[in-house]
Amino acid sequence: METRQQDRGRLRAGFMDSEPLREADEDLVSEVNLNNSVMTEEEREEIQQELTKLEEEISTLKQVLSSKEKQHAELKQKLGLNPLSELKNNFSRGWHDMQTSTAYKKTSETLSTAGQKTSAAFTTLGSAITRKFGDMRSNSIGYSIRHSMSMPAMR
């Protein structure tokens, strides 16, 4: 039992320790009983103390983080960086990043090619329609002259 207490002490020393787990550690973990009714009063007190210590550490870290966030905001204010200018910079940076991306370049090239082909198709269509109207007018004028020559009464 004494070696288990030493193992627990070593494990409690800090979960951030960089020491790798050994087989003995794995055995210790596998022997942990999750049923609280079997836990001794001493173990319960140790766990409660550890919990209290962790809660205090969390509270301290929250205070430190809050202090750092205030300092961060003050420094940004001194530099003239307000939320609106940051938003503008983020949009500008995002737009630039998007324009330099491979996907944007490929899409842009594809749309440009499609636009050129569409323009050429409309030009061809317009020429065909103009030619048809020209043909229809020529036929219509020829018909009109022939018709008026053959029907002198209608002049």
**Same domain for 28 and 9:** yes
- How many domains does one find in the chain? 3
**Same domain for 27 and 2:** yes
**Same domain for 155 and 130:** yes
User: What letter does residue 39 receive in the DSSP assignment?
Assistant: S
150 assigned to some structural domain: yes
**Same domain for 155 and 122:** yes
Max CA distance (Å), the chain = 134
| Residue span of the structural domain in which 148 resides | 118-155
C-alpha separations of 30 from 17, 25, 33, 34 in Å: 20, 9, 8, 10
**Same domain for 50 and 26:** no
Question: Dihedral (C-alpha) 87, 89, 94, 100: value to the nearest 10 degrees?
Answer: 170
**Same domain for 72 and 46:** yes
pLDDT digits (tens, 9 = 90+) for 123-142: 999 898 988 888 777 776 65
pLDDT digits (tens, 9 = 90+) for 56-106: 999 999 999 999 999 999 998 898 888 888 888 888 999 989 888 998 889
Using an 8 Å Cβ cutoff, are 25 and 7 in contact? yes
